[in-house]
Amino acid sequence: MNRLFLASLLAVLAASSALATDRLPVVASFSILGDMVSRVGGDRVAVAALVGPDGDAHVYEPTPDDIKAVAGAKLLVVNGLGFEGWMDRLAEASGYKGPVTVASNGVIPRKMAEEEGGHNDADASSHADQAHQGIDPHAWQDVANAVTYVKNIAAGLDTADPQGKAMYDANAAAYIAELEALDAEARSTMAALPADRRKIITSHDAFGYFGAAYGLTLLAPEGMSTESEASAADVARIIRQIRDDAIPAIFVENIKDRRMIDQIAAETHAVVGGELYTDALSAKDGPAPTYVDMIRHNIGTLTEALAPKR
């Protein structure tokens, strides 16, 4: 009896090991893309996200393990739009010559407007901001754009692993239906807020697509990259605008040091409305372990802080 049980156990372990070996190795540049690839790829893929939960892709420095992971990948999935300024160097260092899926292909890019008193001089512009060339790379913050991401990811997987096409396409269709429902939920929830309660401050300018899609006006003391350092003039401008426009709440981000936001809150008596997830998911036991959870968390945090107090 014990021998039979042991033989069965060894067979199961061998089958599991073979399945793990047979999975398509895919490298995604950061955690949000990693989650999307996992949803589309299911059990056929083994996904590694280079920039993990709560990580800041703007300032990320690849490691030797990253070089090894990219070298062994059969598909590389990146955001594009200048978001991963370090990716070309990493791919070159790894010798990777395989297919690359740019998840944002087909998205209409949002241009960053020059703000009066903002980062206009050469010293204030970060390397990452220059790489963006005035394009906002945070397109996933509009859920309608996430649908485009999923379609591109599915197409990339179909090409890299044609035998899995039927499963990838089915998973993508189910995921897209979920995202379309989430997009409708976001629109209806944010539309319920009074017009004079729809201005917020965030740490860096990552919510432009979200604001345009769901009717919020967003301001940030830093630019589109977290490498941008807010000047004293930037902070003073934000403080004036909070006071002039009676902005109801300011928010910290999971990838950012909150001290600057706390300083602004102390000087304006604005409410710190909570933590938003912008460029990275949370850990698995956090409030935003998946992209869908992240959007729902952000919607809930925003509406709780911005809804009129009775």
Instruction: Specify the pLDDT at position 252.
Output: 65
Name the residue with higher pLDDT: 204 or 217. 217
pLDDT greater than 60 at residue 105: yes
Q: Do 153 and 161 meet the contact criterion of CB atoms below 8 Å apart? A: no
**Whose CA is closest to 296, among 287, 286, 305?**
287
CATH 3.40.50.1980 fits 189-306, yes or no: yes
Instruction: Specify the pLDDT at position 63.
Output: 96
Instruction: Specify the pLDDT at position 12.
Output: 46
pTM score: 0.80
pLDDT greater than 60 at residue 261: yes
Instruction: Specify the pLDDT at position 110.
Output: 92
Residue 26, classed as helix, strand or coil, is strand
Q: Say yes or no: do domains 2-179 and 189-306 share a fold.
A: yes
Instruction: Specify the pLDDT at position 229.
Output: 56
Average pLDDT of 240-256?
A: 67
Name the residue with higher pLDDT: 58 or 70. 70
Name the residue with higher pLDDT: 103 or 308. 103
Average pLDDT of 60-81?
A: 97
Residue 187, classed as helix, strand or coil, is helix
Reported as a pLDDT band with limits 50, 70 and 90, residue 149 is very high
Instruction: Specify the pLDDT at position 220.
Output: 58
- The domain limits of the chain are 2-179, 189-306
Instruction: Specify the pLDDT at position 118.
Output: 37
Tell me how far apart the alpha carbons of residues 142 and 159 are, in angstroms, rounded to a whole number.
26
Instruction: Specify the pLDDT at position 171.
Output: 98
Instruction: Specify the pLDDT at position 196.
Output: 84
Percent of the chain residues topping a pLDDT of 70 = 71
Instruction: Specify the pLDDT at position 131.
Output: 46
Reported as a pLDDT band with limits 50, 70 and 90, residue 5 is very low
pLDDT greater than 50 at residue 135: yes
Instruction: Specify the pLDDT at position 206.
Output: 83
Name the residue with higher pLDDT: 63 or 8. 63
Instruction: Specify the pLDDT at position 253.
Output: 67
**Whose CA is closest to 206, among 186, 228, 190?**
228
CATH class held by domain 2-179: alpha beta
Average pLDDT of 90-94?
A: 96
Reported as a pLDDT band with limits 50, 70 and 90, residue 268 is low
Residue 28, classed as helix, strand or coil, is strand
Contacts 24+ apart (CB under 8 A), 61-70: 61/86, 62/86, 62/89, 62/90, 62/93, 66/90, 66/94, 67/93, 67/94, 68/94, 69/25, 69/27, 70/27, 70/94, 70/96
**Whose CA is closest to 264, among 250, 244, 276?**
250
pLDDT greater than 50 at residue 9: no
Q: Give the tokens for residue 141.
A: 């913050």
